[in-house]
């Protein structure tokens, strides 16, 4: 079945152009004139990915992103005509997986969509023909099943977005060293970033909050001026 994408944008020409490019790549696209209409449809049927413009009549894209994140980890891409770092960080801190500033090329957006879906492909369940032992990554009280991309703390499932999970997994697989911010950007986001690497800091803030809420002893330590390393409280 084709991947289903919801796209909210108040400018009709952009809606039409983006939908055409995505549909040409084989995606099923439903467009909406504003975020409130998208969210109403989201409550009825959850898509595979959401693309949100920020400046729309009614609830802006940031508000809709926050509403979606209360119940779902579906991938979200934010679009905005405002190119400041503050807007970028707002989108990431609310749980979006990517951010694109207008004006943009529809081809560039398609590339971002493909990059997100590549990360999600790891979550597809194995078929009966794939006689493969599941790859399990364990670190203290955290366990990640790499084949179905599910994470657990003390046996209880963690509700992480695909970006958060890949970020944590990369740190766990490199637990014997500190990992540079630039390395994390390349490994987790799958392409070079044009915005300063504070995006990693906001992802870490969300992960720390979720690990703390789960009662985990695992902590993400900041290596000032360089990046991060994974560790355990008291060690």
Reply yes or no on whether the pLDDT at 220 is more than 90: yes
Reply yes or no on whether the pLDDT at 143 is more than 70: yes
Residues 108-121, mean pLDDT to the nearest whole number: 81
Q: What is the pLDDT of residues 169-178, one digit of tens each?
A: 899 989 889 9
> Domains in the chain and their CATH numbers?
4-121 (3.40.50.2300), 136-232 (1.10.10.10)
Give me the chain's average pLDDT, please: 83
pTM of the full structure: 0.65
Reply yes or no on whether the pLDDT at 200 is more than 90: no
What is the SS3 assignment for the chain? CCCEEEEECCCHHHHHHHHHHHHHCCCEEEEECCHHHHHHHHHHCCCCEEEEECCCCCCCHHHHHHHHHCCCCCCEEEEECCCCHHHHHHHHHCCCCEEEECCCCHHHHHHHHHHHHHHHHCCCCCCCCCCCCCCEEEECCEEEECCCCEEEECCEECCCCHHHHHHHHHHHHCCCCCEEHHHHHHHHHCCCCCCCCHHHHHHHHHHHHHHHHCCCCEEEEEECCCEEEEEECCC
Of 70-79, 119-128, 131-140, where does the model show the most confidence?
70-79
């Amino acid at each position: 079945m084709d991947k289903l994408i919801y796209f909210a944008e108040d400018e009709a020409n952009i809606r039409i152009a983006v939908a055409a490019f995505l549909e040409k790549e084989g995606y099923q696209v439903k467009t909406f004139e504003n975020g409130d209409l998208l969210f109403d449809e989201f409550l009825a049927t959850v898509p595979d990915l959401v693309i949100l413009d920020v400046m729309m009549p009614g609830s802006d894209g940031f508000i809709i992103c926050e509403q979606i994140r209360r119940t779902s980890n579906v991938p979200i891409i934010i679009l905005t005509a405002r190119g400041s770092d503050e807007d970028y960080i707002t989108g990431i801190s609310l749980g979006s997986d990517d951010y694109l500033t207008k004006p943009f090329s529809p081809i560039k957006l398609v590339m971002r969509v493909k990059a997100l879906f590549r990360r999600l492909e790891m979550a597809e369940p194995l078929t009966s023909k794939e006689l493969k032992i599941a790859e399990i990554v364990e670190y203290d009280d955290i366990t990640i099943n790499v084949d179905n991309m599910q994470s657990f703390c003390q046996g209880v499932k963690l509700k992480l977005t695909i970006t958060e999970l890949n970020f944590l997994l990369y740190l766990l697989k490199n637990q014997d060293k500190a990992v540079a911010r630039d390395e994390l950007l390349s490994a987790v986001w799958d392409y070079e970033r044009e915005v300063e690497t504070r995006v990693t800091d906001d992802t870490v803030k969300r992960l720390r909050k979720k690990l703390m809420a789960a009662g985990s002893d695992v902590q993400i330590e900041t290596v000032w001026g360089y990046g991060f390393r994974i560790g355990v409280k008291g060690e």
